[in-house]
Homo-oligomer: A and B are copies of this chain.
Amino acid sequence: MTQQRTLRVALLGAGSVGSQVARLLLEHSDELADRSGARLELAGILVRDLEAQRDVELPAELLTTQADELIAGADIVIELMGGMEPARTHILAALQSGADVVTGNKALLATHGPELYEAADQVGATVSYEAAVAGAIPIVRPLRDSLAGDRIMRIFGIVNGSTNYILDRMDRDGLSAEEAQQIATDLGYLEADPTLDLEGFDAAQKAAILASLAFHTPVSIDDVYREGIGSVTADMIADAHRAGYVIKLLAVCERMITSSKAPDAGAVTADGDAISVRVYPALISREHPLASVHGGNNAVFVESEAAGPLMFYGAGAGGIQTASAVLGDVVSAARRHIAGGVGVGESTRANLPITPIGQVTTRYHITIEVADQPGVLATVAGILSERGVSVATVEQKAVVDAEGTARLVIGTHSAREDALQATVQALEALDVVEQVSSVLRVEGAA
Contacts and interface: CB of A to CB of B under 8 A. Distances in A.
A85 interface: no
A331 B146 CA distance: 9
Interface stretch (A167-175, A204-212, A337-345, A387-395): A337-345
A157 to B, nearest CB: 12
Stoichiometry, copies per complex: 2
B332 A145 contact: yes
Given A341-B340, A344-B339, A150 B308 contact: no
A34 B346 CA distance: 10
A310 B313 contact: yes
B32 A149 contact: yes
Given A137-B310, A321-B308, A339 B338 contact: no
B148 A20 contact: no
A28 B314 CA distance: 32
**Which of A28, A142, A289, A306 gathers most chain B CB within 10 Å?**
A306
Nearest to A337: B341
A401 B87 CA distance: 76
B347 A320 contact: no
A6 to B, nearest CB: 16
Contacts of A151: 28, 31
Contact of A310 (B34, B35, B138): B138
Interface in A310-327: 310-315, 318, 320-321, 323-327
Contact of A37 (B141, B292, B330, B344): B344
Contact of A147 (B28, B324, B330): B324
A130 interface: yes
Nearest to A40: B149
Contacts of A312: 310-313
A307 B314 contact: yes
B347 A324 contact: no
Contacts of A130: 146
A11 to B, nearest CB: 13
Contact of A138 (B147, B324, B331, B342): B147
Given A142-B138, A147-B328, A311 B313 contact: yes
A326 B34 contact: no
A306 B20 contact: yes
Nearest to A312: B312
A20 B34 CA distance: 37
Nearest to A335: B344
16 contacts: A35-B148, A35-B347, A36-B347, A138-B147, A138-B310, A147-B328, A149-B328, A150-B324, A304-B324, A306-B321, A306-B324, A308-B315, A309-B314, A311-B313, A311-B314, A312-B312
Interface of A: 1, 20, 24, 28, 31-32, 34-37, 124, 130, 136-138, 141-142, 145-151, 216, 289, 292, 304-315, 318, 320-321, 323-332, 335-336, 338-344, 347-348, 350
